[in-house]
Amino acid sequence: MRILHTSDWHIGRRFKGVDLAEYQRRALNWLIDVVRREHVDVVCVSGDVYDSPMPSAASVDILDDALTRLSSIVDDAGRPAVDVIVTPGNHDSARKLGFGAHMMRDNVHLRCSIDDIATPVVVTRPRTASPAAADGAPGENGVGGRRGSTAVETLAVYAVPYLDPDIARPTLRAMLTDAHADAASILRSHEGVMGAAMSLIRADIARRRASNPRMRTVMMAHAFVSGANPSDSERSIAVGGVDSVPAAMFAGSGLDYLALGHLHRAQKVTIPQDGRGAGGAGRTPVARYSGSLLAYSFSEGCVPPREGNGKGVVIVDMDDNHADAAEPSIRTLDVESGEPPLVQLRGTPDELLGPLAERHARDWVSVTVVCDAYPHGMYQKIDAAYDHALEKRFDIRRRSRTDGGDRAMANLHEAHSEIDVLKDFVRYTLHRDPTVDETAVLRQAVERTLGETDDGPVKDSAEKSSAAKGSATKTAAGKPAGKGRD
């Protein structure tokens, strides 16, 4: 059985204001081609399909097109060749993603309900083929065998949606029986709800393997498993200050492969051995995060930089020739999305506008300018040197003229009023005292913010509007507004 593991598509996401839809389409087109070329049997999408619980119509169209094309792939006999299993992540609305799941094609499984976590999607494929053989019998859940098979291999996929502790606990408590040690209490934590889910899944695996020792098992989960390495682009799922699930929770579970989503860096997670041996219910899974289809933060860029930013999918091959099964065979394929390299650059103005700009002019860059004083016009110079300068930062290492220390910044902590803070900020930024006009503008800003003037409360909205219009005609330097930013 061949599985393609992917996750964190985040359809509809923008990166620093850039619409990523075209790159997401390219990535999904490539993925569909891989499924055909590699003769993949099962596609597992482990959460965060959309970037928002309220996806746009364009985002829905992208997903609909991908699922339709994947589910339309057929074998030589004209039968559906691929089962697609999708679970929601913390960015998705489980209810909206799962709407109409019962009306989907038989080989598209949107598993969005907590009630279904211990009822796997069971996929069967022929172990050996013979044109003269009878039709293969359909497997459990109606996912059928193939014509010409004398025997079938069976894969059970436990598709676990993102488990929000506050939402999942009542349902899981109702599902657990007195036979489960966790029935009495489920802690309000990711560890608590995942532990309850694992109790149910372990019991189901043991029951099924009793009648089919060769059955292989996969669990899809959207969680932060301890020991993994996050990036800057995942949304925190912390509850009570804790956001991780112990890796040891999956040891000896009977699972063969743990298909993880949530973290955007592709990586293997080490699951400690349970000590009960590899066979039977005591198996400990190979666990991996597939990573996201695209890079969604500069921390996900490659060194050296390259197109696609090293994103990939995982191909998992399982052999059920022996009851005491060997580890799955794992390989990764780089996604061909066309997403430009993400590069973080740091240097002096001369370095950033010279050699670095020559090398990275067409990349997507985050620029940090290191200087002793703010270089006027640097924003425009960076934009002229780089096609896509998506972040601009300044590391100004100015020292005070009087004592060599960073006195202006220290003054911010010693200020006694709002206007003192603003005046000291001008001193720190421009290295001089604010002018009379600048001080007047700052004072008006403070008064508007506090909702009062020296003579008392502002009387009505018209007076507020008039004051705002008057101050908006000047910048902090007393010049007409509307000029480009330096």
> pLDDT tens-digit profile of 147-203?
344 488 999 999 999 999 999 999 999 998 755 655 558 888 989 999 999 999 999
What are the two backbone dihedrals, phi and then psi, of residue 194, each rounded to the nearest 5 degrees?
-70, -35
Judge whether 83 and 45 are in contact, CB under 8 Å.
no
Which of 302, 334, 366 delimits the end of a domain?
334
**Which residue, of 318, 334, 350, is where some domain finishes?**
334
Name the least confident of 65-74, 367-376, 441-450. 441-450
Whole-prediction pTM? 0.76
The single-letter DSSP state of residue 115 is G
Question: Within a domain: residue 362?
Answer: yes
- Domain assignment of residue 218, yes or no: yes
Q: Where are the alpha helices (DSSP H) in 94-139?
A: 94-97
Which CATH number do you get for residue 245?
A: 3.60.21.10
**Does residue 484 sit within a domain?**
no
Burial per residue of 159-173, b for 16 or more beta-carbon CB atoms within 10 angstroms, e otherwise: bbbbbebeebbebbe
CB 260 within 8 A of CB 269: yes
Let me know if residue 197 belongs to a domain. yes
Question: Is 259 found in the same domain as 206?
Answer: yes
> Which of 102-106, 279-283, 407-411, 468-472 has the weakest average pLDDT?
468-472
Residue 436: how many other CB atoms lie within 10 Å: 8
| Contact present, 340 and 310 (Cβ < 8 Å) | no
Exposed, middle or buried, 351 (CB in 10 Å: 0-12/13-18/19+)? middle
Q: Determine, yes or no, domain membership for 479.
A: no
Tens digits of per-residue pLDDT, 37-50?
999 999 999 999 99
Query: Which residue bears the tokens 């009495």?
Result: 184
Q: Which of 263, 317, 254 is nearest to 289 (CA)?
A: 263
Do 233 and 109 lie in one domain? The reply is yes
- Looking at the fold, whether 316 and 351 belong to one and the same domain comes out as no
Contact (Cβ atoms closer than 8 angstroms) between residue 448 and residue 468: yes
Q: Is 380 found in the same domain as 282?
A: no
Q: Are residues 219 and 243 in the same domain?
A: yes
Distance CA 244, CA 189 (A): 9
pLDDT band, very low/low/confident/very high, at 19 (cuts 50, 70, 90): very high
Q: Per the structure, how many domains does the chain have?
A: 2
- CA–CA separation, 288 and 290 (whole Å): 6
Q: Give dist(CA 238, CA 262) in Å, integer.
A: 13
Tens digit of pLDDT for each residue in 128-141? Answer: 543 333 333 343 34
User: What are the residues facing 331 on neighbouring strands?
Assistant: 315
Are 383 and 406 found together in one domain? yes
**Which domain range does residue 389 map to?**
342-472
pLDDT at 289 over 90: yes
Asked if 455 and 396 sit in the same domain, the reply is yes
DSSP assignment string, 332-395: EEE----PPPEEEEEE-HHHHHTHHHHHHTTSEEEEEEEESS--TTHHHHHHHH-SEEEEEEEE
Q: Which of 334, 360, 390 is the last residue of a domain?
A: 334
